[in-house]
Amino acid sequence: MSRQFSARILLNNKDGRIKSGMFARVAASSSGNSTIMVPDQALVRRGQLTGLFVINEDQTARLRWVRIGRDNGDMLEVLSGLQDGDRVVSPVPGALYDGMRVEVQ
């Protein structure tokens, strides 16, 4: 509620200018860009490629290759290959293939 957070920061202090007991105020800014996060169980890994099945308007599953960013436990950031509002299959059934007609529940 106070918008204050604890943080641990590793500083290079080879010259010894930073002394014990010193403090700092840090302002973090956001670029305003939204982050798209998907569950780990939605990912399809084939060799070095990572993809997701996205449901199209015609109710077919399409495999889309994506670039993954930060890992936040069971959720991963998608840097490219997915747009806000895309419907993703999760968890991915083993029999699902590209172009397969699906029923959305």
pLDDT tens across 24-67, in order?
A: 777 666 666 678 899 999 999 999 999 999 999 999 999 999 99
Q: So what's the pLDDT on residue 49?
A: 94
* Other residues' Cβ atoms within 10 Å of the Cβ of residue 40: 14
Tell me what the mean pLDDT of segment 78-90 comes to. 91
93 preceded by cis ω (within 30°)?
no
Q: Which residues pair with 45 in a beta bridge?
A: 50
Which CATH code is given to the segment(s) 36-88? 2.40.420.20
List the domain boundaries for the chain.
36-88
What's the mean pLDDT when you consider all of the chain? 86
**Confidence grade of residue 21 (pLDDT, cut at 50, 70, 90):** confident
Q: So what's the pLDDT on residue 11?
A: 81
Q: So what's the pLDDT on residue 10?
A: 80
Contacts of 36 (CB under 8 A, 6+ apart): 77, 78, 82, 83, 84
Distances (CA, A) of 95 to 15, 24, 83, 98: 60, 54, 25, 10
Q: So what's the pLDDT on residue 25?
A: 75
- The alpha carbon of residue 24 and the mean position of all alpha carbons in its chain are separated, in whole angstroms, by 30
C-alpha–C-alpha distance, residues 64 and 51, integer Å: 5
Q: Is the pLDDT of residue 101 over 70?
A: yes
